[in-house]
A and B are shown apart, each in its own frame.
Chain A
Amino acid sequence: MAILRVLTSLLLLFSSFNFSHSLYEDQVGLMDWHQQYIGKVKQAVFQTQKAGRKRVIVSTDENVVASLDLRRGEIFWRKVLGAKDSVDEIALALGKYVITLSSEGSVLRAWNLPDGLMVWESFLTGSESSKPLLLVPETLKVDKDSVILVYGCGSLHAISSIDGEVLWSKDLATEGILVQQLIYNDENDFVYAVGFDGVSKFHLYQINAKNGELLKHNSAAYPGGFSGEMLLVTKDRLVTLDSSRSTVVAIEISEEKIVFEPTQVSDLQDVSGTAVLLPAKLAGIFAVKVNTVILFVKVTNFGKLELVDKLDHTVAVSDALSFSEGQQAFALVQHEGSKIDLTIKLNNDWSSNLLKESINMDQDRGVVQKMFINNYIRTDRSYGFRALLVMEDHSLLLVQQGEIVWSREDSLASVIDVTTSELPVEKDGVSVAKVEHSLFDWLQGHLLKLKGTLMLATPDEVVAIQKMRLQSSEKSKMTRDHNGFRKLLIVLTRAGKVFALHTGDGRIIWSQLLHTLRKTGSCESPSGLKLLQWQVPHHHAMDENPSVLVTGRCGVTSDSPGVLSIVDAYSGKEVNSFSSIHSIVQVIPLPYTDSKERRLHLLIDDVKRAHLYPQTSEAVEIFKSEFTNIYWYSVEENNGILRGHAVKSNCILDVADEYCFETRDLWSVVFPSESEKIITTVTRKLNEVVHTQAKVIADEDVMFKYISKNILFVATVSPKATGEIGSVTPEESSLVVYLIDTITGRILHRMTHHGSQGPVHAVLSENWVVYHYFNLRAHRYEMSVIEIYDQSRADNKDVLKLVFGKHNLTSPISSYSRPDVVTKSQSYFFTHSVKTIAVTSTAKGITSRQLLVGTIGDQVLALDKRFLDPRRSLNPTAAEKEEGIIPLTDSLPILPQSYVTHALKVENLRGIEVIPAKLESTTLIFAYGVDLFFTRLAPSRTYDSLTEDFSYALLLITIVALVVAIFVTWILSERKELQEKWR
Chain B
Amino acid sequence: LKNVFPDLGLQIITLSDLECDYINARSCCSKLNKWVVPEVIGHAVVTVLMLISLHWFIFLLNLPVATWNIYRYIMVPSGNMGVFDPTEIHNRGQLKSHMKEAMIKLGFHLLCFFMYLYSMILALIND
Asked if A pairs with B, the answer is: no
